[in-house]
Amino acid sequence: MTPFAEAAAAKLSRGGRLDPDEALALYEHNDLLLLAALARAAKERQSGRDVYFNVNRHINLTNICAARCPLCAFGRGRDDAGAYVMDREEVVAVARRAADESPDLSEIHMVSALHPDKPFAYYLDIVAAVRATLPGIHIKAFTPVEICHFAAVSGLPIDEVLRALKAAGLGSLPGGGAEVLDDAIRGVICPRKASSAQWTEVVKAAHRLGIPTNASLLYGHIETPRQRIEHLCKLRAIQDETGGFQAFVAFPFHPDNTGLPQLARVGAWEDLKMVAIARLVLDNFAHIKAFWMMLTLPVAQLALAFGADDLDGTVAEEKIIHAAGAKTGTSIAREDIVAIIREAGYVAVERDTFYNSRRVWGTSDNG
């Protein structure tokens, strides 16, 4: 180990906070087992032996998108094959069926493309309709990038867009669209999406209004390890200011069918380093997700030994990641998530969106 990396590890052991250079030294030292030990200790200080998941249902309202980012395989033009838009009745039917099929459903998760013509009222109407149909189910919907789009098409300030959605029934925002908070990188991978400053403006506004969000990072494309670390430090600074982030999730870039097909999907080694370094840098985040759908189930399970404490949810149909070549299933049974967590030696905790425990699954099949 280099003296600098050794000093960084010692600083962590004393409860200190890594600066960007120290985090990068640990990352580039490439000692995966050291990172695992440090990150696992940090995780267990936050959440002990608990590992979380929820029973949720994803709904992607449309894939017709004005941005058409090079990094994305999901977006379509209006007249392209496979283009679709769900109307309110379709969304309500999907949500109702999900609740019927999964009596323990606790969350509807809606994200979409940036439709060039749909007014803000379309989204408000859908949130209100789902809320009226499933009054006890949490609605997590619309990335900060989508919130910026709603502000642009409606002419409303960000705060008013968020207030209107909250009044309609929205409870929290996912953290997607952050990609890498570096505008030089964004200019290549998503030039027509919200800027770093706009993404940050939305999450801070949401937190001020009592709407919690997640935070994310898309890694493994054209960014450098230093830019990943700097991204994490920006999230940490926002969390210091607002305390509104619930969890962080790192998404590996999947290149199939995107505008960046020359890139290769990073390997499991890089995935696990990313989870661990996120846990170590984000010392003010309670929860680090290993989203099984992005990582694959085996890597997500391994990530539990690298600082992750959440596998996300049962999902039940996802389209965006799979358009880019993800080979994972589009859903998972609750019992299978529980088995994965137990096999790793952790306690499976079924949670709601706010990490309140709904059920602790014991060592027997009956919980």
pLDDT, average across residues 157-183: 97
The whole-number pLDDT of residue 330 equals 67
Separation CA 247–CA 286 (nearest Å): 7
Tens of pLDDT, residues 5-63:
888 888 998 889 999 999 999 999 889 999 999 999 999 999 999 999 999 999 999 99
Q: Has residue 367 got a pLDDT over 60?
A: no
The whole-number pLDDT of residue 325 equals 62
CA 192 to each of CA 152, 253, 330: distance values in angstroms, whole numbers, following the listed order: 13, 18, 28
Longest dimension (CA), the chain: 61
The two tokens of residue 200 are 């940050």
Tens of pLDDT, residues 79-127:
999 999 999 999 999 999 999 999 899 999 999 999 999 999 999 999 9
Query: Which among 111, 132, 7 is positioned nearest to 57, based on CA atoms?
Result: 111
The whole-number pLDDT of residue 316 equals 72
Q: Has residue 319 got a pLDDT over 70?
A: no
Residue-wise DSSP of 213-282? EEEEEEESSS--HHHHHHHHHHHHHHHHHH--EEEEEEEE---TTSS-TTS----HHHHHHHHHHHHHH-
Percent of the chain residues topping a pLDDT of 90: 85
Separation CA 202–CA 204 (nearest Å): 5
CB 59 within 8 A of CB 330: no
The two tokens of residue 355 are 């990490």
CB 355 within 8 A of CB 287: yes
pLDDT, average across residues 183-191: 96
Separation CA 177–CA 143 (nearest Å): 6
The whole-number pLDDT of residue 8 equals 87
> Could you tell me whether strands 347-351 and 357-361 are parallel, antiparallel, or unpaired per DSSP bridges?
antiparallel
Name every residue whose Cβ is closer than 8 Å to that of residue 226 and which is 6 or more positions away in sequence.
Answer: 20, 24
Q: Has residue 365 got a pLDDT over 60?
A: no
The whole-number pLDDT of residue 328 equals 66
Q: Output Rg (C-alpha) for the chain, integer angstroms.
A: 20
Q: Which amino acid is at 181?
A: L
Binding residues: 65, 69, 72
Separation CA 156–CA 163 (nearest Å): 11
Binding residues for [4Fe-4S] cluster: 65, 69, 72
* pLDDT mean across residues, the chain: 93
Q: How far is CA 335 from the centre of its chain?
A: 22
Looking at residue 305, the DSSP 8-state letter turns out to be G
Q: Which amino acid is at 154?
A: S
Q: For the chain, list the strands marked E by DSSP.
A: 50-54, 56-60, 107-111, 138-141, 213-219, 245-252, 287-289, 310-313, 347-351, 357-361
Q: For 81-196, list the strands marked E by DSSP.
A: 107-111, 138-141
Separation CA 285–CA 238 (nearest Å): 11
